[in-house]
């Protein structure tokens, strides 16, 4: 990564455009490269290693703003999602299986006849638009379609409370688009659009800037790795 300061004044323009005056912070809020490195290091030390980690959630007045850093290792099967898909880190296998058994269904009940299908591991966020900024590594970002026979994130899950708000995970059907993402590439993913990763041969690290207009995320959250 370049030795640079990630300024909310810059990334917010990418994520949502220039906002009008509001009763939020009056000074720029910065996330330093050292903060990003510290969060990535702490996530790598977890068992299992963390994938998606929010760095901060900031109350901007009329909305909240979150910035996260995501590390994805090699996909288990380059031809179809695997570990490089949109699944989130954290939790043991037993707990994950129990959560899946009790998960609320979401998305289409079945794929339209002849529809193009995505790899496994896609996710769509009800309210959260994401701006991805690749900082290291490479992979194929897959977007589009609609989730089929998906499962909804529980209200008390990390995904819902800290990461992305209410979300639906599963395979997607419809107009599926794939593109290779390299350092410096940026993709803006609107709310409701399924997305995931495949063809990660080594790793991909990227920042995710997440405006939260409905304020569903935990305001004032600071990642424990950088909390003072």
Residue 68's pLDDT is 96
Number of C-beta neighbours around residue 93 at 10 A = 8
Question: What are the helix (H) ranges across 16-77?
Answer: 33-44
Geometric angle at alpha carbon 161, from 178 and 43, rounded to 5°: 65
Q: How far is it, in rounded angstroms, from Cα 163 to Cα 130?
A: 11
* pLDDT higher than threshold 50 for residue 89: no
The whole-model pTM stands at 0.79
User: Distance between CA atoms of 130 and 92, rounded to whole angstroms?
Assistant: 27
Domain with residues 6-212, CATH architecture: Sandwich (2.60)
Please check whether residue 200 is in contact with residue 81, taking contact to mean a CB–CB distance below 8 angstroms: no
Every domain of the chain and the residues it spans: 6-212
Mean pLDDT for the stretch of residues 184-195: 97
Which DSSP helix (H) or strand (E) runs through 29? none
Q: How far apart, in whole angstroms, are the C-alpha atoms of residue 12 and residue 29? A: 11
The mean pLDDT value for 24-40 works out to 92
pLDDT tens column, 97-155:
444 556 799 999 999 999 999 999 999 999 899 999 999 999 999 999 999 999 999 88
């Amino acid at each position: 990564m370049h030795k640079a300061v990630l300024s909310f004044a810059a990334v917010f323009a990418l994520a949502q455009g220039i906002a009008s005056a509001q009763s939020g912070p009056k000074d720029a809020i910065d996330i330093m490269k050292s903060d990003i490195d510290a969060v990535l290091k702490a996530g790598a030390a977890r068992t299992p290693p963390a994938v998606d980690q929010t760095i901060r959630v900031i109350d901007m007045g009329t909305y909240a703003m979150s910035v996260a850093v995501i590390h994805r290792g090699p996909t288990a099967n380059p031809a179809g999602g695997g570990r490089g898909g949109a699944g989130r880190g954290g939790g043991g296998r037993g707990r994950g299986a129990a959560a899946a058994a009790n998960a609320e269904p979401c998305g289409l009940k079945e794929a339209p006849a002849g529809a193009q299908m995505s790899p496994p591991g896609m996710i769509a966020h009800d309210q959260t638009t994401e701006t991805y900024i690749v900082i290291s590594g490479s992979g194929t970002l897959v977007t589009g379609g609609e989730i089929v026979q998906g499962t909804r994130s529980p209200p008390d899950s990390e995904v819902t409370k800290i990461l992305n708000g209410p979300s639906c995970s599963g395979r997607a059907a419809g107009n599926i688009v794939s593109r290779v993402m390299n350092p410096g590439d940026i993709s803006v993913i609107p709310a409701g659009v399924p997305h995931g990763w495949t063809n990660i041969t080594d790793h991909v690290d990227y920042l995710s800037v997440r405006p939260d207009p409905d304020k569903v995320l935990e305001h004032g959250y600071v990642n424990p790795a950088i909390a003072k």
